[in-house]
Structure 1
Amino acid sequence: MTARVVIASGGTGGHMFPALALADEIVRRGHRVALVVDERGRRWVTGDHEVHVVAAARPGLGVLGRGLGVAQGLVQCLGLLRRMRPSVAACFGGYASFPPAMAARLLGRPVVVHEQNAVLGKANRALAGFSRRLALSFARTDHAPALSERTVVTGNPLRAGFRAPVADAPQDGRLRIFVMGGSQGARVFSTVLPEALARLPAELRSRLRLVQQARAEDLDHVRQRYAELGIEAEIASFFDDVPRRLSGCDLVIVRSGASTVAEVTACGRPALYVPYAHAADDHQYVNALRVAEAGGGLVLRELDASPEKLADAINELANNPERLSVMAAAALSFSRPDATVALADLVLSVVEPDP
């Protein structure tokens, strides 16, 4: 039987990347997919996927505004799903996933919810109660029901390419650092990291080979500061070859959104995580903590990330290559490279024919 799968997602990259990975896998298996997203989510979609944009609540709106957004979206989704007659709805959280999931439930269609973070998001908490399956990325997920036949761990689906082989360590004593900060770069890395590296011994600075993502408005400042410090650095606002950059570095300095954690661990890279301080439910800190507990990284809270503390952490790791190797192995063991396949299997296992 050819299934008709609705995939609903909030509009951030953290929601959309795994949703698109699942869509590609289900289409590869010969089934049909329709993406239901808000205006923010539409910008992430490329290729030939069928896309429907619906109204949704948005961050920053008051209670009345959010309620109106949900109501409008629900009316749209009820009409849309009646016409589509989906076999199953897979929902990835965020405000925009709520109306499609509710519409599927009201129309008697099975719902599968996927949580990317180590904290069950607010929308997913509401949806989990009536979902047929709840898929988790982390075995320990705050606010999630206990693991059971209904609540299972699949991991977080990845964009294509994040299974690159880990490069061998350089033989010239260089330390290759890759700095990522989300879709636009993190301001803390552009301001604090250069001053942290300035505090390193000159001998260590001379061995650094740095690749860093920075916001467009920070590029000139960051380049100039590294030049003053004599650090060999490549700075850009965007890299289109992240898997290669990850697999070719010795240490990653990153935020800890769910997709970032999945990508870094899939490439088996030791990481210094600096979680975004204002993430909902502090989920980035919990994501990073789970990796650190497994031995695959260190965590430095953003509000504690002074140049001195960041320099101490980098210096300690730079002078302990054995520890970096152990962390790399732990990160790879923590990863779930089969997450996309596992989630697709789970979604298709609850497919129901048209009533």
Structure 2
Amino acid sequence: MCTSTQNNILFVAGGTGGHIFPALSVYNLFKNVNSNLYFATDQRGIKFEEVSKINPFLIKALGFERKKLIKKIASLILLILSTIKAVFFIKKNNIKIIVGFGSYVQVPFVLAALVLKKNVILHEGNAVMGKANRLFWKYIKVRTSAFNLKEHFPDTIQVGMPIRSQLLELNKNKYKPLSSKGLFTLLILGGSQGSSLLSYRLAKVIVKLPKKLKDKLIIFHQVRQEHLLNVKELYDSNYIKSNVVSFFKDIKNYFNKASLIVARAGSSTIHESIMAGVPAMYVPIKNSVGNHQYENALVLKNNDAAWLLKEEDIDNGIFIKSISQIINNPNLLKKFSLNNRRLRKPLAANKLKKLILSLEDKSV
């Protein structure tokens, strides 16, 4: 039973790792606080084991369709229905504070919160403001971000990116360009939704490296399930030491071992790499909304903390040239590692927690 003395807090996150992980990071900090906690997401969020265990409230949401009239109408109808559901959910559970981490899933909840005059705090994880956050940014009380957005949104508080609690220990990681056996450890991450480009296609390029470089490599490669056997066979036939999986159960262990990370440029991946102090080569998704992945990676590139490649660079020889130069330049890797450490914000989740607790209920 909810009481008036408790903070009844609703966390809302889209169903991808970039939204789910930071939301869970803050959610878990409230478990020992006098609070009733609620979590809302879409159907995609259920695939995360930790989310399914907390019995989230599921809601349907569509993106902002601009082209097709039928889809516009369907999107509008669904938004109205979802907002009505959100209003009933907030009133039924006496929700006092709504904490949104982006994506269209939060739109009906923030609309409902504004109608009911509840406090809202939003967090923008990317270097470019997402549509779902931009829509409400000027109407809410507390606006927070992972990157510095003050140039365009001066009232934003840069708290950093909340990362998974088990990865916070990466802050203690002592980066080494080579393993104790003198091997260069390449960690390739496809992201929570998997990446075709960074799966079998990238493996076919890596095996073209000169033999003396392949002999120095050990690869930990996250690939799509359907590419698992083909990638493993490709590495084995080229005598490249590897561990190929569809999911890393103990990702912290692999961050600790990595000499270089190759990944998409989602905000969670970037900030986890920063926390580990591991240099990275980012390959942004070409059609990401607002080109946010490119802008995310550009922040790291401009701080000499990462390399930025285009998708076409995987096949046109630039990746091979870049990785060859990096493997043979441990001092450059150490410099980039140090620059990553300077960007760390390990207290991001705690800062968000304090901001949430500072909000007073405005409900009437």
Name 2:153's counterpart in structure 1.
145
Name 1:55's counterpart in structure 2.
60
Q: Which moved more, 1:266-275 or 1:192-201?
A: 192-201
The correspondence for 2:82, drawn from 73, 78, 90, is 73
Is contact 2:173–2:276 with CA below 8 Å preserved after alignment? yes
User: C-alpha separation between the residues in 1 aligned to 2:36 and 2:316?
Assistant: 51
Query: Which stretches of structure 1, 4 residues or more, deviate above 6 A after TM superposition?
Result: none
The correspondence for 2:124, drawn from 83, 105, 115, is 115
User: C-alpha separation between the residues in 2 aligned to 1:201 and 1:9?
Assistant: 44
1:343 matched to 2:343: no
- Per-residue deviation, residues 106-161 of structure 1 (Å, max 9, x unmatched): 1111111111111110011001121101101001478x512x3xx10011111121
Q: Classify 1:97/1:27 alpha carbon distance in 2 versus 1 (closer, same or farther; 3 Å).
A: same
User: C-alpha separation between the residues in 1 aligned to 2:32 and 2:159?
Assistant: 19
Q: Which moved more, 1:4-13 or 1:129-138?
A: 4-13
* Cα deviation, residue 16, structure 1: 1.4
Structure 2 residue identity aligned to 1:98: V
SS of the residue corresponding to residue 27 of structure 1 reads coil
1:230 matched to 2:239: yes
SS of the residue corresponding to residue 352 of structure 1 reads coil
- Per-residue deviation, residues 63-86 of structure 1 (Å, max 9, x unmatched): 111111110011111111122222
SS of the residue corresponding to residue 261 of structure 2 reads strand
Name 1:8's counterpart in structure 2.
12
Is contact 2:200–2:230 with CA below 8 Å preserved after alignment? no
User: C-alpha separation between the residues in 1 aligned to 2:140 and 2:362?
Assistant: 17
Is contact 1:8–1:36 with CA below 8 Å preserved after alignment? yes
Name 1:282's counterpart in structure 2.
291
Name 2:162's counterpart in structure 1.
157
* Cα deviation, residue 2, structure 1: 2.8
Structure 2 residue identity aligned to 1:154: V
Q: Classify 1:251/1:186 alpha carbon distance in 2 versus 1 (closer, same or farther; 3 Å).
A: same
1:329 matched to 2:338: yes
Name 2:280's counterpart in structure 1.
271
The correspondence for 1:352, drawn from 353, 358, 361, is 361
SS of the residue corresponding to residue 62 of structure 1 reads helix
User: C-alpha separation between the residues in 2 aligned to 1:252 and 1:39?
Assistant: 30
Q: Classify 1:59/1:131 alpha carbon distance in 2 versus 1 (closer, same or farther; 3 Å).
A: closer
User: C-alpha separation between the residues in 2 aligned to 1:202 and 1:9?
Assistant: 45
User: C-alpha separation between the residues in 2 aligned to 1:43 and 1:234?
Assistant: 24
* Cα deviation, residue 354, structure 1: 5.3
Is contact 1:89–1:112 with CA below 8 Å preserved after alignment? yes
| Residue pairs, 1:147-186, within 5 angstroms | 148=155, 151-162=156-167, 163-164=169-170, 165-167=172-174, 168=176, 169-186=178-195
Structure 2 residue identity aligned to 1:166: N
* Cα deviation, residue 50, structure 1: 5.4
SS of the residue corresponding to residue 67 of structure 1 reads helix
Q: Which moved more, 1:209-218 or 1:38-47?
A: 38-47
Structure 2 residue identity aligned to 1:55: K
User: C-alpha separation between the residues in 1 aligned to 2:356 and 2:22?
Assistant: 13
The correspondence for 2:113, drawn from 93, 99, 104, is 104
Q: Classify 1:305/1:243 alpha carbon distance in 2 versus 1 (closer, same or farther; 3 Å).
A: same
User: C-alpha separation between the residues in 1 aligned to 2:362 and 2:74?
Assistant: 36
User: C-alpha separation between the residues in 2 aligned to 1:343 and 1:50?
Assistant: 23
Structure 1 residue identity aligned to 2:160: G
- Where does structure 1 lack aligned partners over 5 or more consecutive residues? none
- Where does structure 2 lack aligned partners over 5 or more consecutive residues? none
Name 1:208's counterpart in structure 2.
217
- Computed over aligned residues only, the root mean square deviation of the Cα atoms, in angstroms, reads 2.0
SS of the residue corresponding to residue 186 of structure 2 reads strand
Give the TM-score normalised by the residue count of structure 1.
0.93
- Per-residue deviation, residues 216-259 of structure 1 (Å, max 9, x unmatched): 11112211221222111111111111111011111111111111
Count, aligned residues: 351
Is contact 2:195–2:224 with CA below 8 Å preserved after alignment? yes
Is contact 1:270–1:296 with CA below 8 Å preserved after alignment? yes
User: C-alpha separation between the residues in 1 aligned to 2:213 and 2:44?
Assistant: 43
Structure 1 residue identity aligned to 2:79: V
Q: Which moved more, 1:289-298 or 1:160-169?
A: 160-169
User: C-alpha separation between the residues in 2 aligned to 1:227 and 1:29?
Assistant: 51
User: C-alpha separation between the residues in 2 aligned to 1:98 and 1:242?
Assistant: 32
